[in-house]
Amino acid sequence: MAPCAQMGSGRLSRGLLLLCALLGHEFCHVGATVEDFGQEARTSPPGPMYNITDELVEEIYTNLTHRCWESFVQVMQNVTGAQLCEWKVISRPYSSLQQCLEDWADNLKYSYPNALAESYIFQSHHRYFQNCSAGSQAYFDPPEDVLLAMIIAPICLIPFLVTLVIWRSKDGKAQP
């Protein structure tokens, strides 16, 4: 879909008009012209300017991100409880949600990441992936005696290797 922002020529793109029709907002001017792909559209005088307020962009983004969320929820209904923690299964829907949120923000020239997108991501984690970290293995430090041995062994080995190198280099024979 075309970006929902002022275009360089001051004309509305076809995708933006379609977006206006789908969302049902009355912010599209009746006198606005559609940017055509022909040469005559590029050379014609600029049409009326199109100004979108920040509040309107936020409202549009809110509606579109809600559709992203509904699509994600619909896809996740097909995932069983046992599959929720398998990345191979949930990566596509999760990535699609994230991509949808990011693409609409880019199209609307809205900052990303933003609070609304983060709330949907947090909501997805809370609703679907809350128990996934419980099954993963927690890493702990080794016991002190093992850790001490792992630290002291290389320290003791270094002087031995230095002594070996010096002893081998003192025999005075030419090395081939």
SS3 content of the chain, % helix, strand, coil (to 5): 60, 0, 40
Percent of the chain with pLDDT over 90: 40
3-state class (DSSP) for residue 20: helix
Please report the pLDDT score of residue 29 as a whole number: 43
In a domain, 76, yes or no: yes
Q: In this predicted structure, what is the pLDDT of residue 99? A: 95
Residue type, 163: T
Q: Is the pLDDT higher at 120 or at 8? A: 120
CA 42, 57, 123, 81 dihedral sign is: negative
Total domains present in the chain: 1
Instruction: Give the model confidence (pLDDT) of 121-175 as tens digits.
Output: 999 999 988 887 655 566 778 899 999 999 999 999 999 999 999 988 876 665 5
Q: What is the mean pLDDT of the chain?
A: 75
Q: 71: domain range?
A: 52-130
In a domain, 145, yes or no: no
**pLDDT for position 74:** 95
What pLDDT is attached to residue 100? 95
Q: Is residue 30 part of a domain?
A: no
Which CATH number covers residue 119? 1.10.150.510
Q: Is 10 left (phi over 0), alpha (psi -120 to 50) or beta?
A: left
58-110 residue pLDDT tens = 999 999 999 999 999 999 999 888 888 888 899 999 999 999 999 999 999 88
Per the domain annotation, does 62 fall within a domain? yes
- Residue 53: which pLDDT band, with cuts at 50, 70 and 90? confident
Residue 34 counted as domain residue: no
Residue 26 above 50 pLDDT? no
Higher confidence at residue 115 or residue 37? 115
**Residue 141 pLDDT:** 83
| Residue carrying structure tokens 């040469």 | 39
- Check if the beta carbon of residue 25 is closer than 8 Å to that of residue 62: no
Q: Which residue do the tokens 């992936």 mark?
A: 129
Least Cα distance to 56 among 20, 32, 2 occurs for 20
